[in-house]
Structure 1
């Protein structure tokens, strides 16, 4: 199967039309296929292939008159190696019930890039690696909880705005101007910059959450899934080889991912983010040597917080505001948050000691409107910087604090969702006679495996990319080159995997897998011991129904556990808001 997929990789603009022509020709050709397993079994029961041509549903030889299954080697001779005829009614019913709702639900994934191609790539990346999609969601939720905890204990003005703003900027490639410490210290300390934080949060905190279209799409998928599951369980024998029970499970990862993003409401509109930061930076103030703050724009074009928009290929994914790329911004974003949090904590410590920013002045006590009066927040540039600088600074990680723990937890959750849903699909097909590894279960196994490999490659690429930003050495330059190579290979592999799972679903519904090799589970049993079950016994039907029910519970359980985790961590307690300061 991988060789067949390899000829249709998206290497040119003609790939999609070529793939469509291939599928059309296949469907047209398979319509006239002559393989008929029922007729083959009747021929075997009539003794046309000798007295030893029949076996039971366990592969044991039986008198040919009592045969309910066909050995693989005889199946090829008696039935041929091709598939059964294509049935449009079976294909359209299964495609519309099991796959079409999931494809429609893809439109509810969050986008945000100005480039439509980038938005399309993000969809392909999500389909090709559900592990990566689920990982980015879990990481975003854990980052939101971490930043709330990172600023806990800080009571300096604007702490609340800083937490909400920085959490919302997970989708943006934010960076700090480190050549002039006065810029960031002024944002934290000066009362003139209170409007900066409010302005930025006001324009960045737009809502991208539940809507009628989103709720309708989710309800449609959920109802369609429930109805088709009930229908398939009511008659497991009908069209068992083209049934989409496993297809529904392998795509179930999409539902919790979409629900989670709608709850998180990521701020990923690149134009809006850029405009919000531009508006805020236009009113930023900076401390001066004579203690009279002035607009930063009167001095130069430097700002404390800005968007990294260089042309370095290493940061191309970081600059794309689509939330699936949040994993690429983890380290740089966490470092920025750590630096800002340190400034807020040190300013809080000094304010609790009733120390004003300006030396030689007396602390003005708090009133009912403010715990730290504006008079205590005015000073010269050196005093402002000193007020935010710890007396005994501790070494800071260049990776960001506690990032590895969040990565591990997010990885476990993403892998649980992927292998829970794909594992359910594999289990359902595996337990459908002939039991064992066949073409269908192998496709789902390969899909989940490649999805995991893509996630691992892109995660490694992000680690190497951040490492390459350290002091320039031959080692960091080599890490940067490897990062680009690994990232491009991972994305290509994701595209192949996305095409592969779509084609596998098409083959499932079109009877392409209804052939001696696939139905005999020859991959696991071997050609000599493989056999094709034609007539299901009552025990087979009972075990199939039990397996299908178990698969449904495994897939749904994984999805519910993932959504439950998101809801447990999605709304962390924030520092005191404006009404409590």
Structure 2
């Protein structure tokens, strides 16, 4: 049996001999149907005939072509992999992490996208905590404190909770107390063992702020190398696309392009690490978080600490609810103290299967309890806000499956399948058309990755969500539940070591084989080149095997390249956008964070303008976002430039024209991210209003009515001298003109308006 086959020589010999020997065509020729090429028995040979006439060996690529593939694809891929978020001094963790990211990319991307969505919600709640108007020093301190709280929550989300306490509702309450309580005094570290009558002046807010700043400074850097590696991959991809279409139809360049498109989901996964970022020392951060939780847990067992904290709550009803909830946490205090700490393992970047995180349950809880109702500037009453955030609303604790995560899983499937589909199109429809070694190999890899995802989600749902929810309805709280959880944990560990990890390693090895085979030309055999994996193939045309001249080749190459590049480009755009929108939360320098938040708000304004239309458009959709974010000069309460503008700011009186129809009820503003209380009406007889584009004007006579409106209502807006956009947000304290008893403007208003009008 020959080990090497030269298809160029074999093709020349076949074309010469078949033209003179009909018997050779009858023995080895192909008489079946062909696809996308003209039928010609004198140039087409069957798989059996190929093996007999040419041999069963492999026609390897020459070194010049293999080295081109290495420099074009292999080295950029290695450069991407080394930028992955590895954990230092953990060899086997690194091996299993690589096998998980490359062997099960759909599951890994699904978890990472879920983490990105959760951290994005943390950043959005921080943004919504402050208004656009000037803030005094106290409000700025409140904003800084809540920013630290949500950054700690985002960090905690990357760690796995001890399985012994993750099903306990008190664990969620303890974490809310750790994150959002500001007036809780902690026991001194030297007196934790005695506990009684040794609480000092160290407040939880101070300790939390120091920890948040420390974690920001020790957060892993290296965003620039990740961008450089991704750009290197994109540059290689662009070169491969240009070479393929310049030499249209050549199989070697086509399959090189297919290999790049097949792996185009990898830069998306690596790019995700700039958002779902790991710390420099994951174990050190874990110890610090566990120490913070443990200090709060022990301090809550002290009667004096609890009384001192309860005295800071003014509302009697909320004080009673907080006292009841603290008693539950205190009674469960021993159960919440477990060996190994509250957090047990770093699980960010999708490296740990079945990791849900603590952030989404807490965010959903506090959103339903307070933030959703208040909307923009929900921290305006900090004491009330923190009381609601500590109490929460949900009863499911930290262990529940949210079906909204399926959207992230669907996105992960689209990314991997879409990029692989582009490679599949090129390999499948390049003659010989059919399912061969390359297109079949891509199909096997994607199918294995999809199967691993389906099994993983099924195990998660069956073991955690469905059975745990049903058992909570009748099982006693205690040993029986922990026994059930322990059995589930043991079964999942068995599946992980006996099923998931071996298959992930095998799928990773198969992906490496696909890249190696394309690099050296190991697929240039009779079995592979005749595309006999499925019906429709089984033959080889010696006029098409090296350079295809079919008219349909160009169309399929364009389709495959467009599909993969579009999905990859949109995915990268989303990741970079999320990185920009969330960077203000993890920036250590407060001035830089303020500048980033201002840019974030400007970007959101521009994005909603593009997606929903201009703010003056007469549509209900545009009115919804108009009232929430419409302004061109958006500032942040910590900006020095912003604080200088506070002293220069003055009030303008805007006139907003309203009419009764079409009707927009106040309840329509529930999803505006703005409080319903801020949609004010001066005329109580009008049951509903519709806001049109405001005109920047001073108060005029009440007889000046718009010809397009049946009612005229004056609103006063607080606005800086730079803000000339018609910021549509009535002030809650000084938002309406002062009027005399008969309803006419006061003399002071008229003088002020005349003076400003003259100045203009």
Question: Where on the TM-score scale, by shorter chain, does this alignment land: which range?
Answer: 0.7 to 0.9
Instruction: Give 1:169's aligned residue.
Output: 156
Q: Which residue, 294, 297, 304 being the options, matches 1:290?
A: 304
* Residues in 2 aligned to 1:557 and 1:415: alpha-carbon distance in whole angstroms: 15
Residues of 2 paired with 1:162 and 1:85: CA distance?
59
Q: Which residue of 1 aligns with 2:120?
A: 145
**Deviation per CA, 1:451-494, whole angstroms, max 9, x where unpaired?**
11122233334445645877635865554344223333122111
Which of residues 95, 105, 108 is equivalent to 2:70? Answer: 95
Corresponding residue SS for 1:173: strand
Equivalent in the alignment of 2:659: none
How many angstroms apart in 2 are the aligned matches of 1:261 and 1:483? 27
Secondary structure at 2:534's aligned position in 1?
helix
**Counterpart for residue 543 of structure 1:** 552
Which of 432, 445, 454 is the equivalent residue of 2:430?
Answer: 432
Matches within 5 A, 1:131-210: 131-147=106-122, 158-174=145-161, 178=170, 185=177, 188-190=181-183, 192-206=203-217, 207-210=219-222
CA distance in 2, matches of 1:198, 1:308: 27
Q: Of the candidates 226, 240, 259, which is equivalent to residue 228 of structure 1? A: 240
Query: C-alpha separation between the residues in 2 aligned to 1:193 and 1:531?
Result: 75
Unaligned runs of 5+ in 1: 1-28, 353-365, 378-383
Contact 2:29 2:46 in 1 (8 A): yes
SS in 2 for 1:112: coil
Relative to structure 1, the CA distance from residue 186 to residue 77 in structure 2 (aligned partners, 3 Å threshold; closer, same or farther) is closer
Task: Return closer, same or farther for 1:171/1:372 CA change in 2, 3 Å cut-off.
Answer: closer
Q: Are 2:172 and 2:362, in contact at CA under 8 Å, matched by a contact in 1?
A: no
Deviations 1:19-39 (A, max 9, x none): xxxxxxxxxx95x44665424
Q: Within 5 Å, which residues of 2 pair with 1:235-384? A: 235-238=247-250, 240=252, 243-267=255-279, 269-277=281-289, 280=292, 286=299, 288-290=302-304, 309=340, 319-325=345-351, 328-330=354-356, 332-335=358-361
Aligned to 1:408: 406
Distance 1:505 1:479, change over 3 A: same
Structure 1 residues 221 and 386: CA distance shift in structure 2, 3 A = closer
C-alpha distance in structure 1 between counterparts of 2:524 and 2:118, whole Å: 47
- Return the alpha-carbon distance in structure 1 between the equivalents of residues 390 and 501 of structure 2: 43
CA contact (8 A) 1:113 1:322 kept: no
Structure 2 partner of 1:533 = 541
- Residues 151 and 545 of structure 1: CA distance in aligned 2, closer, same or farther (over 3 Å): same
Measure the CA separation in 1 of the matches of 2:116 and 2:266.
Answer: 17
Which residue of 58, 65, 70 maps to 2:45? 70
Q: Corresponding residue for 1:41?
A: 14
Do the aligned residues in 2 keep the contact of 1:34 with 1:84 (CA within 8 Å)?
yes
Conserved? CA contact 1:183–1:304, under 8 Å: no
Which secondary structure state, in structure 2, belongs to the residue aligned with residue 505 of structure 1? Answer: helix
Distance 1:180 1:48, change over 3 A: closer
Take 2:283 and 2:149, find their aligned partners in 1: how far apart are those partners? Answer: 21
For 2:572, the equivalent position in structure 1 comes to 563
Partner of 1:290: helix, strand, or coil? helix
The TM-score with structure 2 as length reference comes to 0.57
Checking the alignment, whether the CA contact within 8 Å between 2:264 and 2:568 is kept in structure 1 is: yes
Residue matched to 2:708? none
Provide the C-alpha distance between the structure 2 equivalents of 1:547 and 1:220, rounded to a whole number of angstroms: 26
- Equivalents in 2 of 1:461, 1:320: separation in Å? 21
SS at match of 1:540: coil
**Residue 204 to residue 174, structure 1, CA distance change in 2 (3 Å):** farther
The answer to which structure has the higher helix fraction is 1
In 2 relative to 1, CA 181–221 (structure 1 residues): closer, same or farther, beyond 3 Å? closer
Q: CA deviation at 1:330?
A: 1.0
Structural RMSD (CA): 4.5
- The size of the alignment, in residue pairs, is 505
Give 1:100 shift. Answer: 2.6
Work out whether residues 250 and 422 of structure 1, in 8 Å CA contact, stay in contact via their aligned partners in 2: yes
Q: Cα–Cα, structure 1 residues 85 and 248, in superposed 2: closer, same or farther, change >3 Å?
A: closer
In 2, Cα distance between equivalents of 1:503 and 1:234 = 28
Change in CA separation of 1:541 and 1:304 when aligned onto 2, cut-off 3 Å: farther
The 3 A distance-change label for structure 1 pair 516 and 54 is same
Which one of 419, 437, 442 corresponds to residue 421 of structure 1? Answer: 419
In the TM superposition, residue 397 of structure 1 has moved relative to its aligned partner by 6.1
Q: Quick one: distance in 2 between partners of 1:129 and 1:60? A: 41
Instruction: Tell me the secondary structure at the aligned position of residue 543 of structure 2.
Output: coil
The worse-fitting range, judged by mean Cα deviation, of 138-147 and 275-284 is 275-284
**Bigger relative CO (Cα 8 Å, ≥ 6 apart):** 1
Paired with 2:524 and 2:172, the residues of 1 have a C-alpha distance of 69
Report if aligned partners of 2:429, 2:553 keep a CA contact under 8 Å in 1: yes
1:494 aligns with 2:487: no
Per-residue deviation, 1:107: 1.0
Aligned-partner SS, 1:319: strand
Structure 2 equivalent of residue 396 of structure 1: 396
1:170, CA displacement in angstroms?
2.0
Aligned to 2:318: none
Whether the 8 Å contact between 2:106 and 2:449 is mirrored in structure 1 is yes
CA gap of 1:201–1:40, structure 2 versus 1, over 3 A, is: farther
**CA separation in 2, counterparts of 1:38 and 1:495?**
40
- In the alignment, which residue of structure 2 is the partner of 1:50? 24
Which residue in the other structure is 1:214 paired with?
226
Aligned to 1:106: 81
Cα deviation, residue 541, structure 1? 4.7
Specify whether residues 85 and 37 from structure 1 end up closer, same or farther in structure 2 by C-alpha distance, changes over 3 A only.
farther
Separation in 2, partners of 1:478, 1:448: 32
The SS at the match of 1:524 is coil
Identify if the C-alpha distance between structure 1 residues 535 and 303 changes in structure 2 by more than 3 Å, giving closer, same or farther.
farther
Alpha-carbon deviations, 1:382-418, whole Å to 9, x = none? xx9999547xx654366448x211x111011101111
- Asked if the contact 1:334/1:399 (under 8 Å) is kept, the reply is no
2:29–2:49 contact (8 Å) kept in structure 1? no
Larger Rg: 2
Q: Deviations over 1:519-570 (max 9, x none)?
A: 11222236xx621022139983543233223222111111122223334555
Conservation of the 8 A alpha-carbon contact between 1:173 and 1:319: yes
Judged with a 3 Å threshold, the aligned counterparts in structure 2 of structure 1 residues 496 and 411 are, in CA distance, closer, same or farther, namely same
Residues 290-339 of structure 1 show CA distances to partners (whole Å, capped at 9, x for unaligned) of: 35869xxxx9xx8999998479xxx9xx7234422366331555445566
